[in-house]
Amino acid sequence: MQQGSGFLTPRQRRLAWLGFLLAALQAPVSAKFSSDDSWLFSLCVALMVATVIIADDASRRRPADATPAE
């Protein structure tokens, strides 16, 4: 049984991880040095990128011959 391929290429996957880490690290730094709540934007971006990475992982772990559920 072969594993399915994800929708991200290996390069896109590395860039997604880099973007997630940068956004996740920027949120607490921004919260410390900013008086407003703009750090929440960095947190939301990090969560959206994490969702894409998790969806790509799920499609990679699905067997190649499996059909999506309808």
Residue 62, pLDDT score: 81
Q: How far apart, in whole angstroms, are the C-alpha atoms of residue 24 and residue 28? A: 8
Task: State pLDDT tens for residues 40-62.
Answer: 999 999 999 999 999 999 988 88
61 Cβ partners below 8 Å, 6+ apart?
Answer: 3, 4
pTM of the full structure = 0.78
> Which carries the bigger pLDDT value, residue 17 or residue 70?
17
Residue 25 has pLDDT above 90, yes or no: yes
Domain ranges of the chain: 10-61
Q: Do residues 4 and 56 lie in contact, with contact meaning Cβ atoms separated by under 8 Å?
A: no
DSSP secondary structure, 27-53, as one string: HHHHHHH-SSSTHHHHHHHHHHHHHHH
Locate 13 and state its tokens: 């996957």
